[in-house]
Amino acid sequence: MNANAAGPRVSVIMANLNGAAHIAAAVRSVLRQTETSLELIVSDDGSSDDSLARARGAADGDPRLVLLTSERARTGPAAARNRALAQARGRWIAVVDNDDFIHPERLERLIADAEADGADIAADDLLTFYDSVKKPPHGHLRGALAAAASWISAPAYERSNRLLGAGPALGYLKPVFRRALNAQYDETLSIGEDSELVLRLLIGGAKLRLYPELGYFYRKHTASISHRLDLAAIDALDAAYAKLDAGGDSELAHELQRGAEARDDARAFTKLISALKARNWDGATQAAFARPSALLLLKDPIMARFSRPAPRRAASQPRVALISRQRIVGATNGSSAYVLALAGALKGAGYAVDYLGASPKIFGRWAILKLRPEVGALDRYLVHGGVRVGNVVLARDPRVWAASALAVADRVLSKAGVTGLSRPAEYAQGASATRADRLWIARNAAPDARAVLCDYAFTSALSPYALVANGRSAIIMHDLMSARVADAAETNTVKISAADEFRMLGLADAVIAIQHEEAAKVRAALPERVVLTAPHAAEPVTAPQPGEDDLLFFVGSNTAPNIVGLEWFYREIWPLIRVKRPAARLKVAGSVARALGTPPEGVTMLGVVGDLAPFYAEAGVVISPLYTGSGLKIKLIEALAAGKAVVGTSVTAQGVERQVAGAMALEDAPGRFADACIELLGQHERRAALAIAALACANAHFSAAACFRELTAFVRGDGAAPARNSLRKELSQSQ
């Protein structure tokens, strides 16, 4: 905690009355904020359930949680919040309801923006969701307010808050405000207390800044305001607003008058509804004639009656949401193969995994994505901006089709020496998420998912939009991206510092590392997060495959480590091999061929092949000449599982040095690398012995059962616990 003697930066106040169903998620979301200088004051209003115990359990000993109880019961949310305000020590006050939750970066971002802009009050947009009916989540703001930050005047604020009005009422937003404003809620109000307070502060000279980010997750209950509205509540609003003084502001005076008229309509509407429910036709007629404008308010309950959403049914199979901006169409590269292996392991454990391709940028320059059979590990396959037809996904954006045409033309004309028609698409993983991306996730994620997996750290901030408040979240790290940036050879990647990367990794409950060395680094940097080690698993063959003499094999995608490594092999090693073994041949499979020119003599570029098994089977030696890169080298695991003699470098074995010791040849010097290849290419018995060791290594360390045990236990809620050892408590409360 960064709070000093003067108090924390922000005090979060939360009124509570029998909030056992959701308070644990609300408390966790506050205490998991990136703004750590905070206190959370839960002010109870006489609860008869175990909500306070659940709040304590969610905090798991965090001293920033303060629980207030009152001798008076059911005094209302305004009074409960005032008791919290009296105890608050923060420079800022934030309001969070006990059945909602907030984005982990919300308070840090909102307060920083408010201080930079000189605002006294700040609010962001709500993402409204429904937990008991099939109704799509949506943002609260519309139009210009949802597009850019805005200053909101007192007249504009009052105009938006017409009782039973049609527009997005700004009074629903949950503000942060400076404690120096000495705000106090009107305890006579049972509805509208938030908007009345903010309006009063604005009239007093406070400045309100509205931001369009979707940072507050608002749980909408099925009961509409008409079910909770009564004449006493309207009378209390009239009395409270009668105290407000427009101070000569004619625009504000006009809006206050319009607000009073809206309350008169609401009063007549309430009488009309009460009479109709009681089948008091005379009373209903009198109410309608007394205030004809109130009849217009009937359109909402009538429309609600005809468009009543169906109740949400419980899922027949536990689900896991996979949020990705990676173009996963099959096991076409190491990272895709790894994600599909994780999905397959969860599928085998009884979970349905939904792929949520969270950006139209996934298409890049290719408007058609053809899905391979390996995608069958995923139960649902959805891409933002795409439509699936059978085993293909088509881009909806015509600009992607135009880019595809240019890319094809560029590829054809490049053979004639004409280049430059097409440029590489933006790297989708590191691209900024849009409001549309976030809403798309909220609308397409299964509402009852058990866990959320984020593919790469870049997607970690998108996890809350899956609206899995009681589930677990984990980041599939793949490798440390900041380590890639530190490597001069890694030019085609997003630039990110270690501090920024660990910040992103810290947004989830757990981090999934692909090898032990990087897992240790994450544990050191994030001691309060669960770090799971899940090496890439491969399906081992039944017997070792020594292969043919004088045949080398390399598999790699079009990434910097593969390109640089193969160029090094061509330049420094291949000539040495050819001197001693003139009949030696090298076959290169994978998209790495796209980045390389004409290969040396004896090298065949296969490109992307549908089935690698026959090429592994015939090869005498599989090479991995890498001297840059991080993470686990997935093609190494595949080669070991194929029962092959492998020659690689220390970079190839990074993170699994202990496991592969004796199961492959490791050489960093070009001459020694060449000698290892030469020896194996000409000695069948030596090659067979190394192939036997490789297959034994794969069976012992890289089978699916060995690799993914920790992951499946985490999703189930068994085994390793998250920060402050609260996983078991969370699980028991959410089931």
pLDDT confidence of residue 673: 98
In 3-state terms, what secondary structure has residue 554? Answer: strand
Residue with tokens 């015509």: 398
d(CA 198, CA 211): 16
pLDDT confidence of residue 408: 79
The CATH architecture assigned to 319-533 reads: 3-Layer(aba) Sandwich (3.40)
pLDDT confidence of residue 269: 86
d(CA 187, CA 190): 8
User: Residue 572 is encoded by which pair of tokens?
Assistant: 């420094």
- AA letter at 537: A
Residue with tokens 């399906």: 539
Domain residues of the chain, as ranges? 10-244, 319-533, 551-702
The CATH architecture assigned to 10-244 reads: Alpha-Beta Complex (3.90)
Go through 453-480 and write b for each residue having 16 or more CB atoms within 10 A of its CB, e for each that does not: bbbbbbbbbbbbbbbbbbbbbbbbbbbb
d(CA 518, CA 476): 12
Mean pLDDT by 10 residues, the chain (735 residues): 70 97 96 97 96 96 96 90 98 98 98 98 97 87 96 97 84 97 96 96 98 96 58 94 94 96 87 85 81 70 56 75 96 90 94 97 93 96 97 95 84 67 72 95 92 96 92 92 60 75 95 91 94 89 96 92 94 97 97 89 93 96 87 83 97 91 97 98 97 95 87 80 38 33
pLDDT confidence of residue 643: 97
d(CA 496, CA 483): 9
d(CA 198, CA 175): 9
d(CA 25, CA 195): 25
d(CA 70, CA 721): 34
d(CA 286, CA 14): 42
Tell me whether domains 319-533 and 551-702 share a fold: yes
pLDDT confidence of residue 485: 52
Residue with tokens 């199961």: 663
pLDDT confidence of residue 619: 98
pLDDT confidence of residue 223: 45
The CATH architecture assigned to 551-702 reads: 3-Layer(aba) Sandwich (3.40)
